[in-house]
Amino acid sequence: MIAVVLSQIKLVHDVAYTGPRQIDLVGAILSVLGMGGLVLGILVWQEGGEFVGLLIAIGAIALALLAYWLVRRKREGKPTLLDPGLFRFPHFTSGISGQLLQNVTLGGAMIALPIFLQMTLEYNALKTGLTLAPLSLSMFGVALLAGRKAGGRRPSDIILVGFALSTVGIALIIPIVPRTHSGWWLFVPLLITGSGLGLLVSQLNNYTLSPIEEERVSEAAGVNSAAGSFGLSFGLAVAGGIMLAVLAFSFTNLSEDSKVIPPAQQQQIADSLEDDAEVISNAQLEPLLADEPKAVQEEILHINKEARDRSLQVALLVPVLASLLGLLNAFRMRRLPDPKPASSAEGVALG
């Protein structure tokens, strides 16, 4: 991949920068606290740690202070971490929103699907990668094809179709999770999802950066990239956290409703899950149940499968919801006039 990028490096054009070169240290710190606090808070919640609310509150407050700080610095004519004036462009704001939601979709799918394949179908890493290949290959192929063959089609229409396909593709996987015993059942849904994400990759960068003048396009590209990275981290963290929370809740409730598991053991299971919920395959669980009566073993294995499938289905709702929000954002894009292609944006998009 690096070789491919380097082979096209001549397409990246340097633009002379004549503005101030001071560092906005306060803005940089607030951005780290803001995005880091939100993601870290979700990860701590996922691990059952403390001060989750405090971390998320710190993140939210820091982002609000960052917005205030940037506007204030801009009015004073001082250097800012990023120019808040960028957000006056409707194409830019809707574009980075789409970029963020696209990566939330990808991040949510990329934590739930490998866990499903490895823990439910008990695939090894190689089989998991091969099963997910239709997603990555279709995403790569469609992105290249759509980027070259878009013709006179409106970028907003292609983005809308992309989010629609990703929504449908992931939604089709949800009812498959508790019913399939083979990764082949995922082939068509993954192909649909990858095609949708490929359409988004082919259009979102240029759509977002097209209204930005050359001197500011690198800054805008940095914001666009940061939105994508944050969306990916956020999608991974939220989907993973929700999955473990639903797993613990479902396992506890199903154990308490069981007529086979003794009450004392039900409480032991609940206490264990409260401290350390973990997605585990039946093959991994069987040795831990070797000393239990046969009926109890079978009951716990059945509960594990049902709770695990339910948690994975709920986790997949995160990318579905992100795609639906992206679809709504795409309708907003369609109400805007088509952006004019900018040579500078084309070059930066490769980064």
Residues 73 and 172 in one domain: no
Query: Residues 54, 137: one domain?
Result: no
107/206 same-domain check: yes
225 shares a domain with 244? yes
pLDDT, residue 299, reads 86
C-beta neighbour count of 103 within 10 angstroms = 24
List the alpha helices (DSSP H) in the chain. 2-7, 25-46, 52-75, 90-115, 125-149, 155-176, 187-209, 217-257, 263-275, 282-285, 294-334, 343-349
Which pLDDT value is given to residue 195?
96
- 176 and 46, same structural domain? no
Total domains in the chain come to 2
Given 81, 104, 121, the domain boundary residue is 81
User: What is the rounded CA–CA span in Å between residue 158 and residue 162?
Assistant: 6
Which CATH number goes with the domain that contains 118? 1.20.1250.20
The residue out of 81, 110, 129 marking a domain boundary is: 81
In angstroms, the CA 116 to CA 177 distance is: 8
Give domain status of residue 1, yes or no. Answer: no
Q: Give the pLDDT confidence score for residue 272 in this predicted structure.
A: 63
pLDDT tens string, the chain, 351 residues long: the values are: 889 888 988 887 776 766 667 788 999 999 999 999 998 888 887 776 788 889 999 999 999 999 999 999 988 888 888 888 888 888 899 999 999 999 999 999 999 999 899 888 889 999 999 999 999 999 999 998 887 777 678 899 999 999 999 999 999 999 999 888 899 999 999 999 999 999 999 999 888 888 888 777 888 888 899 899 999 989 998 998 888 888 888 888 888 888 888 887 777 766 665 555 577 777 777 887 777 788 888 888 888 888 889 999 999 999 999 999 999 999 999 998 887 655 444 444 434
Which amino acid is present at 145? L
Kindly state whether residue 205 falls inside one of the protein's structural domains.
yes
Regarding whether 294 and 164 lie in a shared domain, the answer is yes
Q: Output the pLDDT for position 271.
A: 63
**What is the extent of the structural domain holding 266?**
89-351
Give the whole-angstrom CA distance, residue 42 versus residue 126.
29
Question: Does residue 10 lie within any of the structural domains?
Answer: no
- 67 and 144 in a single domain? The answer is no
153 lies in the same domain as 279: yes
Q: Please indicate, yes or no, whether residues 35 and 99 belong to a single structural domain of this protein.
A: no
Looking at the fold, whether 98 and 239 belong to one and the same domain comes out as yes
On whether the CB atoms of residues 207 and 155 are closer than 8 A, the answer is: yes
98 and 74 within one domain? no
**Do 252 and 343 share a domain, yes or no?**
yes
